[in-house]
A = this chain, B = another copy of it.
Amino acid sequence: MVVAVLMPEVVALGEPLVQFNAVTDGPLRHVTYFEKHATGTEANVCVALVRLDVSCGLITRLGADEFGLFIYNWLRGESVDVSHVKFDPERPTGIYFVQRNYPIPGVSDVLYYRRGSAASALGPDDVDPDYVSGARVFHTTGITMAISDTARSAAFKYLEVARSKGVTTSFDVNYRRKLWANVDDAINVLSKALNFADIVFLDEDEANLLLGISAIDDVLRELRSKFGINRAVLKLGLKGSVAYWEGRIVKVDAFRVPVKDPIGAGDAYAGVFLASILRGHDVEKAMRRASAAAAMVVMVRGDEENLPREDDLRRFLEGYGRQVDLR
């Protein structure tokens, strides 16, 4: 069988991970069973896109092991283009564990085993200018900037290529303290990345880290003035989200739902936001749809299972708040 893959609309670069999510709450010492999920911030964005029928390809490296195969089959099953996924015979697939609701209720802790992973060997050899050139959007995040020097180089190279080819660049700051040797490195690199970003996603802590300010209007203005960013989404957690979008400021509330595991909310937001923009929704509707998706994924363990298809999204938006009746 010969399969000729033509260009996906979105191309993303980053590390998928196997997530082992604690079946019961509390400190992992006392957790006996763990549930396996396919995750990773850019992979999550890809699945969010394809669920809404926006084609997406992921550039990455996986271990040539059972966990690598698991992720590969999962992504292919979801119809993410895996033509640019390579298997590394030496390095393992990155994994992590999730501790839920402890010590802080509603917050999850992660324990990574990703140092030296297959994806940390991403580098110049993985840059395929043709692949990204055919896309409408290139997406990566601050996590890819953090996992290794070579991965960072690849990320910057892709941003450059995308820019030069007129492909929109999308960047989620995704600052993870545990992945950086020190905070200054993170600030330097992430700031540099902002210079290449057309669309930026960040939260208040990240704004404060990179800009030293936290008032919403200031943040949006500073992103514009300092980095020339005209399309930024600031995520405010339960307070909702606010965007500066080509001259306009839009604010949207969050949907409150019972939270099982908040991990993956930001990726659901970014992916559904991008898909909605690409499908011609205005920014406010895109934000509302993105907020809905974020709410949907935090209701379960795993980041991708609850990413909505178009019909699910419609039903959520129509049915949310229509509370249980006595049928």
Contacts and interface: CB of A to CB of B under 8 A. Distances in A.
Interface of A: 1-9, 20, 23-36, 55, 57, 65-67, 69-70, 73-74, 76-79, 81, 92, 95, 99, 101-107, 111, 113, 115-116, 174, 203-205, 235-238, 241, 254, 257-260, 262-263, 265-266, 269, 291, 294-296, 298-302, 305-306, 308, 311-313, 315-316, 319-320, 322-327
B92 A325 contact: no
Given A1-B57, A103-B311, 4 more contacts: A103-B315, A103-B316, A106-B324, A237-B324
13 contacts: A1-B5, A3-B6, A20-B34, A29-B70, A30-B70, A30-B306, A65-B111, A102-B299, A103-B296, A105-B295, A106-B324, A113-B113, A265-B324
Contact of A326 (B99, B294, B308): B294
A67 B28 contact: yes
A59 B237 CA distance: 46
Q: How many chain copies?
A: 6
Contacts of A265: 324-327
Contacts of A306: 25-27, 30, 102
Contacts of A36: 31-34
Contacts of A57: 1
Given A1-B9, A76-B79, A258 B312 contact: no
A301 B24 contact: yes
A202 B257 CA distance: 28
A107 B33 contact: no
B305 A30 contact: yes
A95 B95 CA distance: 11
Closest 10 pairs (CB-CB, A-B) = A77-B77, A1-B55, A237-B325, A104-B319, A2-B6, A28-B66, A103-B312, A30-B305, A262-B324, A73-B77
Contact of A323 (B106, B204, B205, B316): B106
Given A33-B36, A78-B73, A103 B235 contact: no
